[in-house]
Amino acid sequence: MRELIVFVLLGLGPAALIAGLAVALVVQYRGSGVINLAAGAIATFGAYAFYSLDSQAGWAAVPAIAGALGLCVVLGLALELILFRRLRSAPPLAKLVASLGLLLTLQAVFVLAYGPNPRAAPAIFSQGSDSTVQVFGSPIPTDRLWVAAIVVLATVLLSLVYRYTRIGLSTRAAAENEGAAMLLGLEPVRVSLYNTVAATVLAGGFGILVASQTQLDASTISLTIVPALAGALLGGFTSFAVSAAAGMAIGIGQTILVYAQARSWLPTMGGSPLPGVAPLFSFVVVVGALWLRGAGLPTRGMLREERLPAAPEAPAHAVAKGIALTVIAAVVLLIVPAAFRQAMMNSAAGIVICLSLVVIVGYVGQISLMQVTLAGVAAFAVQKLSVDAGIPFPLSPILAVGVAVLFGLAAAVPSLRLRGVTLAIGTLAAAVAIERFVFNNTTFGQDPSGSVLPAPDLFGLNLGPRADFPGWDGTLPSPVPGLICLLVTLGVALFVVGLRRSTFGQHMLAVRSNESAAASEGVNVRNVKIAGFAIAAGIAGVGGVMAAYSVGTVNAADFGVVIGLTFVAFAYLGGITTVSGAIVAGTLVPVGLTGVALQEWTSLSLNWLNLIGGVMLIYTILFYPQGIALATTEQARHVMARLQRRRGEPGPDAVVG
């Protein structure tokens, strides 16, 4: 028991950071309706600003803190005016993707400005062995206690401010009902500005406080966002006190798990502790909270909130066009250099995974952030089934897709009670838990040796990277697996086109549009959701199997949460409601066609490309919210209309009009 108390106290440092970020998330959400995935990165921004002013510019501590907080104010103003204000009426997924773009941008800026290695953040409080208190014989650094106290104090102050001051009451009114608030003379836009600045300063301030206890680098504090989201979720993105307490509890709980891992009574795996216990703990907390809350986050009473972009039916002759496109791609595959053959396979797998997002997000309207994780489930399953169980091709990939469907069905259960961003957070927590607890488990996930997957073999015919092909010059990979990938991609794409056109597809769109209305029309909402998750998981599973065979090894890192979020961003960028959007997105995925082309033809470093990519992601969200594919189609239609008008013919616009 004494040791337990010691570890509770030791956990106060990381717990304070989680709690502080959870509070900042609540402030941001209450003011602007944005769940800001970049809150941790903003904390890192504050820490780097303080480091620059104190350690690099030589300022004294107090002016440096004031200066760093001032920079946070500037950042908050910029974020509100450039980003969040423009997204006030955007769909929740657009806001989420925009905040992801912000996270990626800030991380790239940090690496460019300060390098990938950690920096020595100046300490606000004295550190070292002489700045500890002894608790049951163990030294507890006093700086952790101070930081925890400051977080508690900030939480109390915020609660009082939002309860008793005009700005606090205005925020609550605007969050409840924006229209009514405006009638009362309040200005929701101004309220949003104040809250965004406050959230930025809070996050930056907590970053300044904790940076000296941890590593000041681009990612360590930034990625604390997942447990912080869990804390904010438990507080319903409304209560500062509950969010802070939950954040503290999660942080302390994770520290106690670290303690338990060092004790012999905790189960081990090959002498090592079970991996991913801490994120699994966070996931259980999130799912428990979501299940108990059920109704999801309090809906902000926006005057107008846009829905997801339209999901138009595939154009006429879609099948013929798809086949023609595949033939063209096959020809390209045969003539491009070998590096691009591998890139095309990576892109084909990416297209299929993005198609799963089209089904579950674009058609059914359920924001799932775990489709790449489901692809990973299938990838590991096919490797284990092939190598460990000796199940031959093609039975092993079929069974592996079945395993992904089972996971997808499990994910569907919470969707019966949750929707929108709440479901997104639940699936994000699930993705983290599966990545750490399943993929990183050497028994049923990542083999430390690299999880090699033998090339597929059908009736003695090698279909892998060394498969014979007429005219092949022997450079790896052979065109054969690429051609198979193209055929599978075509098949899945045509299936999704058919799904959109089917009666069941109409039911999906009805559920996306309005669940109550769909139910009143006789649509079984529950079944549609469950089937939607299963179909999307199956498609993601196909993508995962393709990815596994195209690379020849299965690696947890290829199916990690950050990669998964990036896929969602790409899918949204391409157009998350259309097959053509998925094709655009597939070319953008990691080590895909566009990536390899840029790598081959430009000399920009990875860090500059990351920065440009993050900025462009935000730009696209702001100016092409419907996605590149639909935007391009619309622009092409306008061009055609203008040309036809010039010729005196009635254009499509005239017909529509």
* Least distance to another protein, CB of residue 576, Å: 14
Q: Where in 225-254 is the site for another protein (CB under 8 A)?
A: 254
CB of 367 within 8 A of CB of 581?
no
Using CB under 8 A, which of 181, 197, 202, 210 touches another protein?
Answer: 210
Using CB under 8 A, which of 70, 139, 402, 498 touches another protein?
Answer: 139
Binding status of residue 265 toward another protein by CB under 8 A: no
Using CB under 8 A, which of 177, 462, 506, 553 touches another protein?
Answer: 553
Binding status of residue 134 toward another protein by CB under 8 A: no
Cis preceding-peptide flag for 394 (omega within 30 of 0)? yes
CB of 405 within 8 A of CB of 541?
yes
Number of residues that make up the chain: 657
Please name the helix (run of DSSP H) or strand (run of DSSP E) that holds residue 138, with its range, or none: strand 138-141
What is the token pair recorded at 630?
């639909």
Q: Which stretch binds another protein (CB under 8 A): 125-133, 182-190, 370-378, 524-532?
A: 125-133
Nearest Cα to 15, choosing from 192, 251, 306? 251
Q: Where in 594-623 is the site for another protein (CB under 8 A)?
A: 594-600, 602-610, 612-614, 616-617, 619-620, 623
* Least distance to another protein, CB of residue 29, Å: 23
Using CB under 8 A, which of 258, 319, 455, 530 touches another protein?
Answer: 258
Binding status of residue 442 toward another protein by CB under 8 A: yes
Q: Identify the sign of the CA torsion 454, 456, 459, 461.
A: negative
Q: Which stretch binds another protein (CB under 8 A): 172-180, 234-242, 298-306, 471-479?
A: 471-479
As a whole number of Å, the CA-based R_g of the chain is: 26
Question: 278 vs 418, which CB is nearer to another protein?
Answer: 278
What is the token pair recorded at 140?
């507890």
Question: 82 vs 476, which CB is nearer to another protein?
Answer: 476
Question: 297 vs 345, which CB is nearer to another protein?
Answer: 345
Tell me the CB-side half-sphere exposure of residue 125, using CA atoms within 13 A: 20
Number of other CB atoms surrounding residue 628 within 10 Å: 19
Residues 90 and 311: their CA atoms lie apart, in Å, by 16
Using CB under 8 A, which of 327, 389, 557, 643 touches another protein?
Answer: 557
Q: Which stretch binds another protein (CB under 8 A): 80-88, 372-380, 387-395, 441-449?
A: 441-449
Residue 555 phi, psi dihedral angles, 5° rounding: -130, 130
DSSP reduced 3-state for 494: helix
Binding status of residue 116 toward another protein by CB under 8 A: yes
Q: Where in 78-107 is the site for another protein (CB under 8 A)?
A: 104
Q: Where in 401-440 is the site for another protein (CB under 8 A)?
A: 440
Look up residue 584 and give its DSSP letter: H
* Least distance to another protein, CB of residue 282, Å: 11
Q: Where in 324-353 is the site for another protein (CB under 8 A)?
A: 338-339, 342-343, 346
Residues 428 and 340: their CA atoms lie apart, in Å, by 32
Cis preceding-peptide flag for 273 (omega within 30 of 0)? no
* Least distance to another protein, CB of residue 390, Å: 19
Binding mask 358-397 for another protein (x = CB under 8 A): ----------------------------------------
Question: 415 vs 566, which CB is nearer to another protein?
Answer: 566
Dihedral in degrees, nearest 10, Cα atoms 507, 511, 514, 519 = 70
- How far, in whole angstroms, is CA 44 from its chain's centroid? 19
CB of 50 within 8 A of CB of 64?
yes
Q: Where in 487-526 is the site for another protein (CB under 8 A)?
A: none
